[in-house]
Amino acid sequence: MTMVGLFWITEDCVYVGSEPTGTAPGARLTEDGVEILGLGQGGRSWTWDEITGLDVRDVAVRSAARRLASMAFDSVLVLITGDGELPPAFTVRVETEHEGAVEANVLAAVTGGIHTPDEYALSRTLLTRLADGTTPVGELTDWRRDEPDDVAPTRDQRLALLRQWTAASV
């Protein structure tokens, strides 16, 4: 599993945010469609033919320097208080033909829950391309299958992947 932008990519599927465990909230993207997971919001799914749009809201976005400062502050706060929190949540918005907009919470997978402006913009573009079929989920999962399990891509490599997956070749 690897985090690229807002996506947690496994060999079988892509999660927006972190991969949920137990009753935690989440959104899973597969080659068949989108499924909302988690207690109180799970059990809903749509095929790609039913989806007219995907987007996110409430994502923490800061410059790389501000992200680092926020993470350092949070670490010191946890050290002093001993009070760790769940990862921050954000909202996934699924636009469907028949149901309109459906919103679900997901948990951030990136440390501190903060993304850079580039990651955020490219991730939103990729969500649009996944929804309209110009970038299939299989392209992301195929990449993951070809990568070694114990190697995580660097920040520059993650941005390059997002740029590749959002390229305008249709």
Give tens-digit pLDDT for 124-135.
999 999 999 999
Pair 134, 60: CB distance under 8 Å: no
Kindly provide the residue ranges of all beta strands, DSSP E only, lying in 26-164, ordered along the sequence.
26-29, 33-37, 44-47, 51-57, 60-61, 89-96, 100-107, 114-115
Residue 72 has pLDDT above 60, yes or no: no
Confidence of residue 77 (pLDDT cuts 50, 70, 90): very low
What's the Cα-to-Cα distance from 92 to each of 25, 27, 37, 39, 43, rounded to whole Å? 11, 7, 12, 16, 15
Pair 82, 14: CB distance under 8 Å: no
Residue 119: how many other CB atoms lie within 10 Å: 24
Helix (H, G, I), strand (E, B) or coil at 106: strand
Strand partners, 56: 92
Query: How confident is the prediction for the chain on average, in pLDDT?
Result: 85
Give tens-digit pLDDT for 44-55.
999 999 999 999
Helix (H, G, I), strand (E, B) or coil at 101: strand
Residue 87 has pLDDT above 80, yes or no: no
What pLDDT, on a 0 to 100 scale, did the predictor assign at position 84? 55
Residue 67 has pLDDT above 50, yes or no: no
pTM (2 decimals)? 0.84
Choose the weakest-confidence range: 3-7, 22-26, 43-47, 110-114: 110-114
Side-chain-side CA neighbours of residue 55 (13 Å): 8
Q: What is the dihedral of CA 7, 25, 41, 44, to 10 degrees?
A: 40
